Amino acid sequence: MRVWIVKDYEEMSKKAADVVAELVSRKPGCVLGLATGSTPEGLYRELVRRHKEEGLDFSKVKTFNLDEYYGLPGSHPQSYRYFMNEKLFNGLNIRKENTFVPDGTVPVKEIEKFCKKYEERIKKAGGIDLQVLGIGGDGHIAFNEPGSSLSSRTRLVALNEQTIKDNSRFFKSIDEVPRYALSMGVGTILEARELLFLANGEKKAEVVAKALEGPVTSSITASAIQLHQRVTVILDEGAASRLTRASFYKFAAEAEKKIGIDLF
């Protein structure tokens, strides 16, 4: 795992955009795994800018999102499909039919089949080249709440109290926050060829330290990224403030620049 500690949210977003843009330029038909939330918004803004101002080409790119609220149609302003269209896809030359977000309106009886198909689609597309991840206040990646199996697959999940509270900031009242979601599993996420893990702000510092430097545990599903061979973590100073190995990460990041080889 390589950990880059940067000054602030803007620098985190730019560095993350560098990683994505490098892949898109090198492999124009790549498959991106995408996340929603406040964390990747700056990354998406920067990608739209690079498309508009520098011609970064997304015409052959495919994307798969991590999750979607169960019960919300894509036309709902708080749905993740809506978020992705607004914050990213509408600003790029990506083909909408190449963007996949789980469908929150699948009837209960068809959920299992739908989730299986979502996974098959990922495989058919060649697998995810780079998966963008944020971390929830409870340590989740995607909606894999504490206790989710580390080999879980795409499925219907129940949201825990903290997530409902955290996400209520986007809704008129907490009662409107969906209680369920369709989410890629931890096992699904770990199959991506590379992970790009982002976090910002002091509020995330403690849970980030647990995820990166604590034991691998289903109690903090983000800790499962320790099992992956190619992970780039980008943190701002606030999110990195509780790490015990920060000076080592800085040393390794400097060395990486000097040598010119990725030091995972």
Q: Which is nearer to ligand PGA, 56 or 157 (CB)?
A: 157
**Least distance (Å) from ligand PGA to the CB of residue 39?**
3
Partnered with residue 197 across adjacent β-strands are 133, 233
If you compute the radius of gyration of the chain from its CA atoms, what whole number of angstroms results? 17
Residue in 140, 194, 228, 236 annotated catalytic? 140
Residue in 138, 166, 194, 236 annotated catalytic? 138
Decide if 138 is catalytic.
Answer: yes
Q: SS3 letters for 142-177?
A: CCCCCCCCCCCCCEEEECCHHHHHHHHHHCCCHHHC
Binding-site ranges for ligand PGA (CB under 6 A): 37-39, 134-136, 140
Q: What is the rounded CA–CA span in Å between residue 197 and residue 132?
A: 6
**Least distance (Å) from ligand PGA to the CB of residue 140?**
6
Decide if 145 is catalytic.
Answer: yes
Q: Which tokens sit at 9?
A: 């949210």
Q: Which is nearer to ligand PGA, 201 or 214 (CB)?
A: 201
Residue in 46, 103, 119, 145 annotated catalytic? 145
Residue 94's region, left for phi above 0, alpha for psi from -120 to 50, else beta, is beta
Helices (H), the chain: 9-26, 41-54, 80-87, 111-124, 161-167, 186-190, 205-213, 246-259
**Least distance (Å) from ligand PGA to the CB of residue 90?**
20
Select the residue whose beta carbon is closest to ligand PGA and give its number: 37
Q: Which is nearer to ligand PGA, 4 or 44 (CB)?
A: 44
**Least distance (Å) from ligand PGA to the CB of residue 41?**
8
Q: Which is nearer to ligand PGA, 33 or 134 (CB)?
A: 134
Q: What is the rounded CA–CA span in Å between residue 200 and residue 165?
A: 19
Residue in 67, 68, 119, 236 annotated catalytic? 67
Decide if 51 is catalytic.
Answer: no
User: Which secondary structure element, helix H or strand E, spans residue 68, and what is its range?
Assistant: strand 67-69
Residues known to be catalytic = 67, 138, 140, 145
